[in-house]
A and B are shown apart, each in its own frame.
Chain A
């Protein structure tokens, strides 16, 4: 079974600064995907970024980038130029082709301060 751990329940960052959210996971599988989802107060779970385990290059989506360390089973999210709209709960999630389900971490509440 896979497990996903997010050790930072809450974080805050000043507007326009950079923040990094941590995530570690445990799996015996070799082929899998990792995701960061954002859940604002509206409750809608929104995909922020994904990383294919077979790719060595770290994924980037505009202000969002990841640091994927496969050997260390670490998958952190970096948000650059933080905006007030980035305030949300962020979930790290693991997905494997065999299971076809997502395993989520417990989340990190990010607050962007003006």
Chain B
């Protein structure tokens, strides 16, 4: 079975431009999350989508937006790019699994898209 796939692998943009990153979840997974990983730091949560609805949003400006399609794939859009947006953008998919007192939500990560803003 294919894992989480992301495209493109690498991307170079200039300040002020807009970018769209794409993610295809593992077959059967209905939840997709996006994370930003700046070099030398841990990933930071941006969005979670489940069944095409936004279910969570991290502390990111409105320049960041996302959507999920009927086939559960997802796009992350970033407008008016800043130098500080340069990072590895990770997508993770999950299938909610009930167990114990808390729903266990293992997330499977894709290889990421490396965005460089010049």
Contacts and interface: CB of A to CB of B under 8 A. Distances in A.
Given A45-B109, A50-B106, A100-B56, A91 B43 contact: yes
B33 A101 contact: yes
A99 B107 CA distance: 13
B102 A43 contact: no
Interface size class of B (residues with CB under 8 A): 20 to 34
A44 B42 contact: no
Interface string B29-59: 0010101000011111100100000011010
Interface of B: 31, 33, 35, 40-45, 48, 55-56, 58, 88, 90, 92, 100-112, 114
19 contacts: A33-B102, A37-B109, A43-B88, A43-B112, A43-B114, A44-B110, A44-B111, A45-B43, A45-B90, A45-B109, A47-B106, A47-B108, A52-B100, A99-B56, A100-B31, A101-B45, A103-B45, A105-B42, A106-B40
